Chain A
Amino acid sequence: MGYSMLRIVISVILIIISCVWMFMGINEYGMWIPGVSADTGFIPTVFGAIVLLFSVVKLVKDIKAYVASRQGEAAVEKSAVSFKDVLVKLKPLLPAVTAILAILLIKFLGMVIGTYLSLFFYMKVVNNDKWVKSLWVTAVITLFFYAVFVLWLKVPFPRGIFGI
Chain B
Amino acid sequence: MKRILVLALVLLSAMTFVFANASGESTYPSQSIELVIPASAGGGSDIMGRLLIEIIQDLKLTNQTIVPVNKGGGSGSVGQAYVNSKSDPNYTIFTINDGHTVGGNKAGTIPKDNFTMLASVGVDNVLFVTKADSPYQTYEQALEASKANPMKLTVGCADDIDKVCVYNINTETGAQFNTVYFNSAGEIATAILGGHIEFGMFNPSECAGLVEGGQLKAIATMAEKRLGAPFADAPSFVEMGFKDLVYYFSRGMLAGAGMSREAQLWWSDAFAKVCASEKWQNYCNQNGIENRYMNCDDYRTFYLENEKMLLETAKKAGAL
Chain A interface residues toward B at CB < 8 A: 35, 156
Contact = CB atoms under 8 A, between A and B. Distances in A.
Secondary structure of the A contact surface, majority rule: loop
Nearest to B69: A156
A156 B36 CA distance: 12
Contacts of A156: 34, 67, 69
A115 B164 CA distance: 48
Interface residues on B, range: under 10
A156 B71 CA distance: 12
Contacts of A35: 151
Nearest to A33: B318
4 contacts: A35-B151, A156-B34, A156-B67, A156-B69
A148 B317 CA distance: 49
A35 B178 CA distance: 11
Contacts of B69: 156
A45 B119 CA distance: 45
Contacts of B151: 35
Give 4 nearest A-B pairs by CB, closest first: A156-B67, A156-B69, A156-B34, A35-B151
B219 to A, nearest CB: 25
Nearest to A37: B180
Contacts of B67: 156
A35 B151 CA distance: 10
B318 to A, nearest CB: 10
Interface in B60-76: 67, 69
Nearest to A154: B67
Contacts of B34: 156
A67 to B, nearest CB: 47
A156 B65 CA distance: 13
A123 to B, nearest CB: 33
